[in-house]
């Protein structure tokens, strides 16, 4: 890219921390190139988090707030993000409500064009498929960000066409056409790929998003080529739009030099574990996992019996059942209910394992920190991510339900067994060695000579080259 060129990128993340955070890291990655300015669109309730996350990027980053629609029948008043939803069953109403923001979004694009701040291209979340129409009105290329890896995207696209797996039982294994080494079950999928839904608002939303994606300029992927070359190549050979691997985006997390000198209590606790020579298992399941009290209780019993040191970040309702555990393991285990800096935790030298829901952000952050994963997926793409972590990459182990399925109740005995296996067993040592190698490959990918760095440069060049120089002013 010509260092003297002026490129203006619009970023529009979906209203969910798991989607916003990687987009903010992408903004930082873009700003490492000269001549780039960025405008981020969000809503008033999400704006403070974004502004707090980007304090050192002014004046090259502007933030435009669009009012989130009010009086949506299914949504509680004031809810503007998934982490505020009382249940993830309300995801589709939240996502569909964003369509009502389209007129304000287009007025803002018009203002940017009219004020001489022409937009070079838009990167918007795949859940905001309606932004394609807006981009087309202004002759602006639109790229899509889903936050998924190529392994998941490719499998889901192949199985959306070949639906023979829908005839099988929920735990009956099958292979994926074109990838005979992959063994999956229906329980690895949510609707509609598990056959439980054939119509309705959820299916309609997925179809709309898929069509908008297929008509967009490209896919921006939080992954790196060396991690999954067969799936990147297959996608770019068989499907559209082109996938651009520019990650891992967590490598460009902001430096923490601006942190107050006083360390958070949880970092002090980890520091103490280092002094004691104790390895710590970090446990977190994201902000949207809905875990029953019964399951939390079994997890607590298993962790207590394991005698492993652990740091458990709990967001689930009903976490009061863990109060007894906190008393029993005081000093050895720490339960935290506040927001923590996950990247900093994973990079702490005392943390030697991560029990995770396998959201892709968390999986990549763990890989980058060379911390092996104990995969316990809950929803969405997490089951496929868990397969990838344990079976494709061999950087983690997998927790299975008591009935042998990939879904279902997990007893305390299984929790105890798998925690010990990861933290103390030979299998844990094997995946620890493997994740160190993969983490090093991730670091090299985002260096200036690396594959992801070069790919982002190519993306900018090709997208700007295809841009219509005369934006339409409406």
Q: Report the percent of the chain where pLDDT is more than 70.
A: 93
pLDDT digits (tens, 9 = 90+) for 324-364: 888 888 889 899 988 888 999 999 999 999 999 999 999 99
pLDDT digits (tens, 9 = 90+) for 254-302: 555 444 567 888 999 999 999 999 999 999 998 777 788 899 999 999 9
Average pLDDT for 197-209: 86
Please determine whether the domains at 7-253+444-465 and 265-441 fall in the same fold group of CATH: yes
Dist. CA 42–CA 51, nearest whole Å: 11
**CA distance to 136, 389, 440, per residue, from 436 (Å):** 44, 13, 6
Query: Domain map of the chain by residue range?
Result: 7-253+444-465, 265-441
Q: How confident is the model at residue 473 (pLDDT cuts 50, 70, 90)?
A: very low
Does 379 or 458 have the greater pLDDT score? 458
Question: Contact at 8 Å (CB) between 407 and 380?
Answer: no
Q: Which CATH superfamily is domain 265-441 in?
A: Glycogen Phosphorylase B; (3.40.50.2000)
Does 143 or 190 have the greater pLDDT score? 143
Give the 3-state secondary structure of residue 160.
helix
Give the 3-state secondary structure of residue 74.
coil
Check residue 472 and give its pLDDT. Answer: 40
Q: Which of 68, 61, 30 is nearest to 46 (CA)?
A: 68
Check residue 315 and give its pLDDT. Answer: 78
**Mean of all residue pLDDT scores within the chain:** 90
CB atoms within 10 A of CB 199: 9
pLDDT digits (tens, 9 = 90+) for 66-104: 999 998 989 999 999 998 888 888 999 999 999 999 999
Check residue 474 and give its pLDDT. Answer: 39
pLDDT digits (tens, 9 = 90+) for 3-17: 435 899 999 999 999
pLDDT digits (tens, 9 = 90+) for 158-184: 998 888 888 889 999 999 999 999 999
pLDDT digits (tens, 9 = 90+) for 214-237: 999 999 999 999 999 999 999 999
Dist. CA 406–CA 398, nearest whole Å: 9
Helix axes 412-424, 293-306, angle to 10 degrees: 40
Q: Which of 277, 274, 358, 281 is nearest to 313 (CA)?
A: 281
Give burial (CB, 10 Å; 0-12/13-18/19+) of 352: buried
CATH number of 7-253+444-465: 3.40.50.2000
């Amino acid at each position: 890219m010509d260092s003297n060129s002026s490129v203006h990128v619009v970023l529009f993340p979906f209203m969910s921390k798991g989607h916003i955070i990687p987009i903010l890291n992408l903004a930082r990655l873009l700003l490492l190139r000269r001549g780039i300015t960025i405008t981020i669109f969000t809503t008033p309730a999400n704006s403070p988090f974004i502004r707090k996350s980007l304090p050192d990027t002014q004046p090259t980053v502007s933030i435009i707030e669009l009012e989130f629609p009010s009086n949506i029948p299914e949504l509680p008043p004031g809810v503007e993000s998934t982490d505020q939803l009382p249940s993830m069953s309300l995801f589709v109403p939240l996502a569909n409500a964003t369509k009502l923001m389209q007129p304000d979004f287009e007025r803002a694009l018009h203002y940017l064009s009219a004020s001489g701040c022409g937009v070079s291209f838009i990167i918007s979340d795949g859940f905001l498929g309606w932004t394609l129409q807006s981009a087309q009105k202004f002759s602006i290329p639109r790229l899509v960000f889903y936050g998924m890896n190529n392994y998941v995207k490719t499998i889901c696209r192949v199985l959306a066409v070949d639906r023979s797996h829908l005839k099988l039982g929920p735990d009956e294994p099958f292979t994926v056409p074109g990838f005979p080494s992959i063994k999956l079950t229906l329980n690895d999928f949510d609707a509609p790929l598990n056959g439980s839904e054939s119509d309705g608002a959820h299916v309609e939303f997925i179809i709309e998003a898929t069509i908008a994606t297929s008509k967009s300029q490209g896919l921006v992927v939080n992954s790196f080529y060396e991690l999954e070359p067969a799936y990147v190549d297959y996608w770019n050979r068989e499907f559209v739009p082109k996938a651009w691997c520019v990650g891992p985006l967590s490598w460009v997390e902001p430096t923490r030099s601006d942190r107050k000198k006083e360390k958070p209590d949880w970092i002090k606790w980890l520091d103490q574990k280092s002094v004691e020579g104790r390895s710590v298992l970090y446990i977190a399941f994201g902000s949207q996992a809905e875990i029953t009290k019964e399951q939390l209780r079994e997890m607590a019993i298993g962790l207590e019996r394991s005698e492993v040191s652990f740091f458990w970040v709990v967001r689930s309702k009903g976490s009061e059942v863990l109060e007894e555990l906190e008393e029993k393991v005081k000093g050895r285990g720490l339960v935290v209910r506040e927001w923590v800096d996950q990247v900093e935790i994973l990079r702490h030298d005392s943390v030697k394992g991560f029990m995770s829901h396998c959201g892709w952000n968390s999986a990549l952050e763990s890989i980058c920190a060379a911390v092996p994963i104990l995969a316990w997926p809950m929803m969405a793409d997490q089951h496929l991510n868990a397969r990838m972590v344990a079976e494709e990459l061999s950087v983690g182990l997998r927790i299975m339900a008591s009935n042998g399925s990939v879904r279902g109740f997990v007893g305390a005995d299984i929790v105890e067994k798998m925690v010990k296996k990861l933290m103390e067993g030979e299998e844990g040592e094997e995946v620890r060695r493997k994740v160190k190698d993969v983490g090093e490959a991730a670091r090299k990918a985002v260096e200036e000579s690396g594959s992801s760095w070069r790919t982002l440069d190519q993306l900018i060049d090709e997208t700007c080259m295809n841009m219509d120089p005369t934006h339409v002013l409406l």
